[in-house]
Chain A
């Protein structure tokens, strides 16, 4: 069973569209995250969320919004997609304390 699963794996869409990426974890972890990995493989935290607190990286445009229907899910919604949003987006989760993350396999978003 996949511990952290993301869908879709690939997403190609036109500029200006709105899209969502789904993430689910079956590890019982308290905190979930979204990271963006650019073409140079640099990873940047976008959001971290548990049932108490949403931490937002202030550099993330407000076109991006996390939505968590329950503890096991943290979806990423993106409005008005731009070319620069093309990247691989990774979802991750972690238990309390030590914080060893489990990552999903990524969603490659291409905006054309």
Chain B
């Protein structure tokens, strides 16, 4: 199947950490991606991780990959109100360089 699963909503307080989880289906995926969509805008590539890595850190963002469980997570440290957006997990369908399949998106709300 091609389903990428995410919880739909997450609410955190400003300054706390946010953790957005995703499960994917294709074990042959070479890269896995996180995209951010702000209201009225297109999707912006946040970060990606190669499948031979367990973790990738980029400033406030930490991506964890558990290949055994096909689980991907995005941690945002010191969450700010500007982080409020929809976050999409994505993987290439059937691996390789095929079109990305996106999860349903997690709407992150940051409470001041």
Contacts and interface: CB of A to CB of B under 8 A. Distances in A.
Interface of A: 4, 31, 33, 35, 40-43, 45, 48, 55, 90, 92, 96-106
A38 to B, nearest CB: 10
A101 B97 contact: no
B105 A101 contact: no
A-B pairs, 4 with minimum CB distance: A103-B42, A43-B102, A48-B99, A45-B99
A102 B86 CA distance: 17
Contacts of A55: 98-99
Contact of B104 (A41, A96, A103, A104): A41
Contact of A42 (B43, B45, B97, B105): B105
Contacts of B48: 98, 100
B105 A41 contact: yes
A46 to B, nearest CB: 9
A77 to B, nearest CB: 19
9 contacts: A40-B104, A41-B107, A42-B104, A43-B43, A43-B88, A99-B31, A100-B33, A101-B45, A105-B41
A48 B85 CA distance: 26
